[in-house]
């Protein structure tokens, strides 16, 4: 997921940000410049979110976590989201409801 999807998305966002900046720099139409600036700002926020998520999952991906299906969902959810340092990363959807509060 990380390499096949997330890294590709980051490159798409980076490319689009560059394209929007090019539009801002070269357009003589004030409306087009405003639309491009707004789109660029949104893309930058999305790129930032992707990079933050990438940091979380890369740390976990490199941990080589072993799951046991007999442990159940709650235990495996916690294993998948806990780094070697014991820090909970919460990278999966609705994890608090599934794992319960601890």
Confidence of residue 89 (pLDDT cuts 50, 70, 90): low
CB 13 within 8 A of CB 53: no
Phi, psi of 88 (to 5 degrees): -85, 125
Q: CA-to-CA distance for 45 and 52, rounded, in angstroms?
A: 11
Q: CA-to-CA distance for 42 and 40, rounded, in angstroms?
A: 5
pLDDT at 51: 92
pLDDT digits 0-9 by tens, 21-60: 999 999 999 999 999 999 999 999 999 999 988 887 787 7
Confidence of residue 93 (pLDDT cuts 50, 70, 90): low
Q: What is the pTM of this model?
A: 0.69
pLDDT at 24: 96
Q: CA-to-CA distance for 51 and 44, rounded, in angstroms?
A: 10
pLDDT digits 0-9 by tens, 57-88: 787 777 777 777 888 777 777 777 776 677 77
Numbers of helices and strands, H then E, in the chain: 4, 0
């Amino acid at each position: 997921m990380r390499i096949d999807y997330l890294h590709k998305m980051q490159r798409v966002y980076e490319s689009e940000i560059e394209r929007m900046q090019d539009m801002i720099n070269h357009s003589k139409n004030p409306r087009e410049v405003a639309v491009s600036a707004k789109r660029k700002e949104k893309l930058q926020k999305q790129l930032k979110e992707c990079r933050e998520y990438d940091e979380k999952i890369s740390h976990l991906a490199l941990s080589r976590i072993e799951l046991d299906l007999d442990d159940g969902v709650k235990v495996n959810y916690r294993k998948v989201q806990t780094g070697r340092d014991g820090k909970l990363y919460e990278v999966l959807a609705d994890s608090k409801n599934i794992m319960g509060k601890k």
